[in-house]
Structure 1
Amino acid sequence: MGAPTRVLDAIDRRFDASVAELVELARIPGVSAESFEPAELERSAEAVAGLLGDVGLDSVEVLRVPGAHPYVVAEKRAADPDAPTALVYAHHDVQPPGRLDRWETPAFEPTVREDGRLYGRGVVDDKAGLCLHAAALRAWLETEGALPLHVKLVVEGEEEIGSGHLTDFLRQHRERLAADVLVVSDTQNLDTGVPSLTTSLRGIVQIDVSLRVLEHNVHSGMWGGPVPDAATALSRLLGRLIDDAGVPAVPGLDADVPELDPEERARIAELSFDEASFRGAAGLVSGVSLVGPDDVSVYERLWHRPAVAVTALEAVPFATAANQLVDEARARVGVRIAPGQDPERVADCVIRFLTRVPPVGARVEARAVAKVAGWRTQPDGPAFDAARRALTAGFGRDAVTIGCGGTIPFVGPFGEVMGGVPQLLLGLEDPPCNAHGENESLDLDDFRKAAHASAHLLSELGVALR
């Protein structure tokens, strides 16, 4: 049973105001990474609390855990005390803006451009994820005077730096946040306009590696030839990580990758894939080929296989470079691991590979700085059926079930702390959105459709979970 037409009409009548609320939140540079101003996260949390209070929610409060950026919690009880409870999760912190000169419009001045998309840091990841639910909740309260189920919200302030305090926060407030279903508003859609329910996430292992060949930099003319340099030696070492086809070449890396069951393979096979669109959304330069095993589909490579990338590389900046042989170079190796792989085992495997036979006998040190498992669930049961109906009604086309190549560290622990309740992972990121990159954007038509879907979801869960 979906939302009444008058609820959807209320969302549409107030849509411009909902976009304006999103813009105001996205103007706040609430970057949770180190070296950015933490006071902006305080300002962001207060703004979120103000929005939720204006929507009509109760018990709105900014909560803090020592050492963490602030959380915002709120709730609204249904008229029926026996109604089920949904806990909605979003986050108000954002990624650093990156290279400011690459933004066509300022990162923290959200702008609707000629293509009709809203551009700005955090507009899709994840402030729209909060605002779409705020729009749906407001419409229900303004037209019906009550919600069809109890709703609680938790809005985190450090998701972009790994949610290091979230498990402790959930344990501390377990009773207050208890629910029958968890709605995570921070994932992606298969394509623009295609509503998607995410049922798996890859994990991540990050290895920092440093390589030294000299006690200090030396003149490249006086010593170059017989004496090696660290940058070249590290490049050689990193080149061993993948083969010429772009397949990870670390022995044993994929030893514990679970086989997909027939149902999952069938779901992937049903999904449409257009290579030209995929290449365009990724920004691949003309002539650059896709990498990975040809006998494995792109979606399986993205969602269910490990991938290796060098995500940071450091020797000497161009601005301070001289004609020298560099003494030391560093890199960060990021390994996205398949759902079900053991991050501890993968970390040990990669560290052994990097330190076993160093080029030119260099001194190599490697350590794991992040080890996060993936996650997966079976999309069966009344909560998942309700979500599919709501997404289909909101977007006007059938919902699909997908995986996600990214990592959301808290999802697994969140489910455990909350007692194993169903977790519905929904979101607004689409292939062109460039979340985490410069010129992050949101499709505003999908924002409207997602608000409709949220309104339907409240109704569907209210019936399905009784």
Structure 2
Amino acid sequence: MTDSQQTPVPPTDAPTEGPAATVTSAADEQAVRAAVEAGIPSAVADLSQLVRIPSVSWSAFDPENVRRSADAVAALLTETGVFDRVEVKQAPIGDSGTLGQPAVLATRAARNGRPTVLLYAHHDVQPEGDEANWDTPPFEPTVRGDRLYGRGAADDKAGVMTHVASVRALKETFGDDLEVGLAVFIEGEEEFGSRSFSSFLAENQDALRADAIVVADSDNVDVDTPALTVSLRGNVTFRLTVSTLEHASHSGMYGGAAPDAMLAMVKLLATLHDEKGAVAVEGMTSYTDAAEPPAFSEEQLAEDAAFLDGVTSIGTGPVLSRMWSQPTITVTGIDAPSVANASNTLLPSVAVRISSRVAPGQPAREAYEALERHLRAHAPFGAHIAIDDVDLGDPFLVDTAGWAATEAKRAMTDAWGAEAVETGIGGSIPFIADLVSDFPEAQILVTGVEDPDTRAHSPNESLHLGVFKRAILTEALLLARLNGRSGS
């Protein structure tokens, strides 16, 4: 679900300079490495058990599976013996009174002035789609080669187990001498829009307050190169309905004079892009302050995105700039008669789902208002326009100058044996804007266990087991070093 911007980051072997330097002994770090190595078989086994629970959070699916998944995650965190409290909790969705899906909250207070770190992941998953498109059953974890296949194996139950396994390694290394503060928030509805997220933050703000927040829901450059995500596009989604007639009419009798809704919809959608496929909506902006992205060839794009022979790319500018720093508009669904059920009829109404990515730096609300103005101004033949089911998520930019980002990149470089790179993301993680709003002093680190072959949300989703191990070691080293950090 993500794309990566690669900006080399020099390795840092010395402790962070400043009034709150991080100090850990070589023996402790070696012990952390040994604990992570020894714990990998258990981590993979526990991850496999989580994958077997079809915790799809969408409203059309059985919510009991999400509850089972939350209970399983809570049990794993409790068994670490690290936390003062582990709870399965729900929060209301806005003012509706309806509760969101179960989330897990575990807390441990910091000691002796050590910093507190909030670890985030989500235990819900996307629907499996057509099982015929899977090579193995989607909820039966299967190892083939160096990858574990299954829905949620990467997105994001591997993120959950990265937190669990790194905490286990800390406990093994430090025992009762563990002093870093920890809060673990494992959400249960990220794949369904995080609809109760803001309420959950409001209700649990004291428990979630932290000096640094690790969001384990992103990807890496490849299976050998770690990444810290520093920018995310926002999102605007809504249903657009175009209507031209009070009822359907015979196309042979009235076609050529009466405007059907499908014709009006097609003409309207065509105005959203220019002849090169770039967004042509006035008021939707690009992120102009972005650094020049690294080279990424058209050939590589065609291979990674699985172009058919002869298909060319769309948009203008460097390929990676188009995917990270520019807005997009995509029609992701359409309500209309199927080809098999088509009749010779002028359609009175047609509805589509619009999904737009918003460039970093532009508020999602501003982008939505620009889209709405454009659609209403360009409706052909006097067609009636209706917009509903609107969902907005703001983009995100990281300040990489803070101590937490420095420590995270150093841990990545040490764990992977390769320099960490900073990455931009074409996708969206809208709830991060809520974290920024509620915890403005916290430094947010977006990490992850995915790679270009993960296929999150798609059939045959998988986790590279080498990436999984290195992600756990990265987080364990980071937390171990913060355990020796003087001050928060």
- Normalising by structure 2, we get a TM-score of 0.88
* Residue 126 (str. 1) matches residue 156 (str. 2): yes
Cα distance between partner residues in 1 of 2:337 and 2:427: 30
AA aligned to 1:75 is T
* Residue 14 (str. 1) matches residue 39 (str. 2): yes
* Residue 290 (str. 1) matches residue 313 (str. 2): yes
AA aligned to 1:215 is E
* Residue 437 (str. 1) matches residue 462 (str. 2): no
Q: Deviations over 1:419-463 (max 9, x none)?
A: 421111111122221212222221111001111111111123334
**Partner of 2:29 in structure 1?**
4
Secondary structure at the counterpart of residue 320 of structure 1: coil
Q: 1:363 aligns with which of 384, 406, 414?
A: 384
**Partner of 1:303 in structure 2?**
324
Q: State which drifts further: 320-329 or 218-227.
A: 218-227
- Report if the CA contact (8 A) 1:387-1:460 is conserved: no
**Partner of 2:283 in structure 1?**
252
Shift of 1:30: 1.0
Shift of 1:96: 1.8
Q: Deviations over 1:225-253 (max 9, x none)?
A: 33333223212211111112110111232
Spell out structure 1 runs of 4+ moving beyond 4 A: none
**Partner of 2:224 in structure 1?**
193
- Report if the CA contact (8 A) 2:115-2:485 is conserved: no
Q: Deviations over 1:75-134 (max 9, x none)?
A: 3456x43221111011111112223322222221122234x3222111111110110121
- Map 1:173-212 onto structure 2 (within 5 A): 173-212=204-243
Q: 1:446 aligns with which of 461, 467, 475?
A: 467
Shift of 1:336: 0.6
Secondary structure at the counterpart of residue 391 of structure 2: strand
**Partner of 2:436 in structure 1?**
415
Q: 1:342 aligns with which of 363, 366, 380?
A: 363
**Does the C-alpha gap of structure 1 residues 463 and 142 become closer, same or farther in structure 2, counting only changes over 3 Å?**
closer
**Does the C-alpha gap of structure 1 residues 316 and 187 become closer, same or farther in structure 2, counting only changes over 3 Å?**
same
- Report if the CA contact (8 A) 1:195-1:398 is conserved: yes
**Does the C-alpha gap of structure 1 residues 143 and 347 become closer, same or farther in structure 2, counting only changes over 3 Å?**
closer
- Report if the CA contact (8 A) 2:239-2:354 is conserved: yes
Cα RMSD (Å): 2.1
- Report if the CA contact (8 A) 2:239-2:389 is conserved: yes
- Report if the CA contact (8 A) 1:347-1:368 is conserved: no
* Residue 64 (str. 1) matches residue 90 (str. 2): yes
Cα distance between partner residues in 1 of 2:236 and 2:376: 17
Shift of 1:195: 0.7
- Report if the CA contact (8 A) 2:298-2:313 is conserved: no
Q: State which drifts further: 382-391 or 146-155.
A: 146-155
Q: Deviations over 1:330-385 (max 9, x none)?
A: 11221111111132222122112112232233222234601221111220121111
Shift of 1:310: 0.8
- Report if the CA contact (8 A) 1:314-1:330 is conserved: yes
Shift of 1:182: 0.8
**Does the C-alpha gap of structure 1 residues 416 and 18 become closer, same or farther in structure 2, counting only changes over 3 Å?**
same
Secondary structure at the counterpart of residue 132 of structure 1: helix
- Report if the CA contact (8 A) 1:215-1:327 is conserved: yes
- Map 1:56-455 onto structure 2 (within 5 A): 56-58=81-83, 59-66=85-92, 67-77=99-109, 80-114=111-145, 116-146=146-176, 147=178, 149-254=180-285, 257-260=286-289, 264-265=290-291, 268-269=293-294, 273-293=296-316, 296-367=317-388, 369-455=390-476
Cα distance between partner residues in 1 of 2:38 and 2:455: 29
| Structure 1, unaligned runs of 5 or more | none
* Residue 55 (str. 1) matches residue 80 (str. 2): yes
Q: State which drifts further: 101-110 or 196-205.
A: 101-110
Cα distance between partner residues in 2 of 1:77 and 1:26: 30
Q: Deviations over 1:112-170 (max 9, x none)?
A: 234x3222111111110110121121122124324352221011111122222222222
Cα distance between partner residues in 2 of 1:190 and 1:104: 25
How many pairs does the alignment contain?
Answer: 454
- Report if the CA contact (8 A) 2:128-2:138 is conserved: yes
- Report if the CA contact (8 A) 1:216-1:327 is conserved: yes
Q: Which has the higher helix share?
A: 1
Cα distance between partner residues in 2 of 1:252 and 1:385: 36
AA aligned to 1:422 is Q
AA aligned to 1:48 is V
- Report if the CA contact (8 A) 1:382-1:465 is conserved: no
AA aligned to 2:172 is E
- Report if the CA contact (8 A) 1:211-1:330 is conserved: yes
- Report if the CA contact (8 A) 1:204-1:373 is conserved: yes
- Report if the CA contact (8 A) 1:187-1:425 is conserved: yes
**Does the C-alpha gap of structure 1 residues 180 and 251 become closer, same or farther in structure 2, counting only changes over 3 Å?**
closer
**Does the C-alpha gap of structure 1 residues 449 and 274 become closer, same or farther in structure 2, counting only changes over 3 Å?**
farther
| Structure 2, unaligned runs of 5 or more | 1-23, 93-98
Secondary structure at the counterpart of residue 154 of structure 2: helix
Cα distance between partner residues in 1 of 2:249 and 2:179: 72
Cα distance between partner residues in 2 of 1:455 and 1:184: 14
- Report if the CA contact (8 A) 2:113-2:486 is conserved: no
Identity of aligned residues (%): 39
- Report if the CA contact (8 A) 1:383-1:464 is conserved: no
* Residue 29 (str. 1) matches residue 54 (str. 2): yes
- Normalising by structure 1, we get a TM-score of 0.92
Cα distance between partner residues in 2 of 1:364 and 1:390: 52
AA aligned to 2:154 is V
**Does the C-alpha gap of structure 1 residues 135 and 229 become closer, same or farther in structure 2, counting only changes over 3 Å?**
same
